[in-house]
Amino acid sequence: MIMSNAPKLADYLGKPFKCSCGRTHSTGLEGCTVGAGVLTSLVDYVEKYGFKKVYVACDEITYGIAGEKVMNILHDANIDAKAHVFTGGRFIPNEESLGKLMIDAPRDLDLVVAVGTGSINDMCRFFSYQMNVPYAIVATAAPMDGFASSGAALMVDNIKQTIPAQTPLFIIGDTDILCGAPARMISAGLGDLLGKFTCLNDWRISKIINDEYYCDTVVNLVKDCIENVLTNADKAASRDPKVIGDIMEGLVLTGVAMSFVGNSRPAAGCEHHLNHYWEAIEIQNGQIPVLHGIEVGLAEVVILKMTEFLRESRPDFDAARAKAKQYDQAAWEAKMKEVYGTASDAIIELEHESKKNEPEGRLKRIDKIEENWDEIVKLMNDYMPTSDRMIEILKSLDAPYFPSQVGFSDEMLYNALVYGKENRARYTMLSMMGDLGVLEDLANKVVAFVNE
């Protein structure tokens, strides 16, 4: 495995280890090859594991970038392979796509190879899991951190849901291909990595408020990854092969961190909840969604600004308790139907299961927040960059840094900040602001800030 700047990860692949957190961590990822001209290593992997029938999945774009090369490489090595090419514009990982992949699949396939990035990867991760065969990835760009994850982010009933699936057996990232990706893809990859600042703090804070399981080893692994990549982030725009390779490796590493924990807690928090809301509305409006990592970068800016506003004064905890007691489930459901549209049924069902908004739980959490407020503020001060610093990084990539720059209205921003937390049961800083009864006021301040 080639991991020039993250040597720890090589020791973890295929090797379970007992962690100081008390758990044994492991990942199903056994190989990751990143570098120039490494596409041909696909044959080495196939032969190493003795696969006989390879099913290659890609869309029209990724077929032209690498899919055709993959098929030629496999056929030249006398390996039986069939390609499924999704057609019809931007690929959406939904029920229809799954059906098409299933109908075209060879009955005797023993390896699925996803050629592409996030959506193709998620679809193949779930499909192969259902078929009970391994899968692998040939990356065509590095725009998101889901490569090595064990969960598949799929659109089900018009809302993105993370469904248990499987980790790839191996990943190939040929920098000759990755460096040719559009600039927006490179910006998206960095944007997804930048989102780890808030997601890790969400985890730290939930540990204090909810006594949630927490692992310092995993947190430090992800934190070190972000810092490693940011060291030379200014060279990403020039497509420096080493920097692009580092981004790819960093995204793989954060996916492995998710495998260690068994969910996406180390890599996705409130910044991703905004992304999930925006994407659901974009799809309902018949729009092609903005790249996942781009939206995460935008969300990171506004979440950081929101926490800065939050830290300006001590919350009124008695007012928070009074507001929690006034919760009206029927009014909340009506609001979800208004802001989530056709995705609202899934949101309402989630609340019925998690009961995250009910007064009893909120009152207990408010007590914990008040008791530990100084420590929570210190975490927000010590472990997160400023919103100005995040804007500066995104500007260096010529990437958007305010939601309006990708066409999102003030209403889309406000709704994401106030109601984005409803699309997951996971506790985040937005959840905390909701418990404190200040979410709406802070969201209005952020909307005013981006319009200055």
- Evaluate the CA torsion angle 387, 221, 291, 443 in order and state its sign: negative
Q: Which DSSP category does 94 fall into? A: B
147 contacts 29 by C-beta, under 8 angstroms = no
Q: For the chain, which ranges sit under pLDDT 70?
A: 1-9
Residue 37 region, left (φ>0) first, then alpha (ψ -120 to 50), else beta? Answer: left
- Nearest of 169, 112, 177 to residue 142 by alpha carbon: 177
Using the CB atoms, write b or e for 218-239: b if 16+ within 10 Å: bbebbbebbebbbeebeebbee
Helices (H), 104-154: 118-131
Measured between alpha carbons, how far is 401 from 295 in angstroms, rounded to an integer?
A: 9
Q: What is the 8-class DSSP label of residue 386?
A: -
Query: Over the stretch 105-139, which tens digit does the pLDDT of each residue have?
Result: 999 999 999 999 888 999 999 999 999 999 999 99
Element (H, E) at 377: helix 373-382
Asked if 274 and 295 touch (Cβ cutoff 8 Å), the reply is yes
Dump pLDDT digits (tens) for 141-171.
Answer: 988 887 888 888 888 887 878 888 999 999 9
Joined together, the tokens standing for residue 307 give 């926490």
Fold for domain 7-245? Rossmann fold (3.40.50)
Task: Categorise residue 50: left if φ over 0, alpha if ψ from -120 to 50, beta otherwise.
Answer: left
Q: What is the pLDDT of residues 30-72, one digit of tens each?
A: 999 999 999 999 999 999 999 999 999 999 999 999 999 999 9
Residues 40, 45, 46, 51, Cα dihedral to 10° = -170
Asked if 270 contacts 417 with a C-beta cutoff of 8 angstroms, the reply is no
What sections of 163-269 are H helices per DSSP?
Answer: 175-178, 183-194, 196-210, 216-230, 241-261
Q: What is the pTM of this model?
A: 0.85
CA distance 217 to 19: 7
Indicate the domain borders of the chain.
7-245, 264-450
Of the candidates 222, 396, 382, which has an alpha carbon nearest to the alpha carbon of residue 297? 396
Q: What was the pLDDT predicted at 9?
A: 61
The torsion region of residue 206 among left (phi > 0), alpha (psi -120 to 50) and beta comes to alpha
DSSP secondary structure, 120-133, as one string: HHHHHHHHHHHHT-
- In angstroms, the Cα distances linking 374 to 197, 303, 304, 316, 381 are 19, 20, 18, 14, 11
Domain 264-450: which CATH class?
Answer: mainly alpha
Quote the pLDDT of residue 5. 43
Phi, psi of 450 (to 5 degrees): -70, -15
Residue pointed to by tokens 């066409």? 407
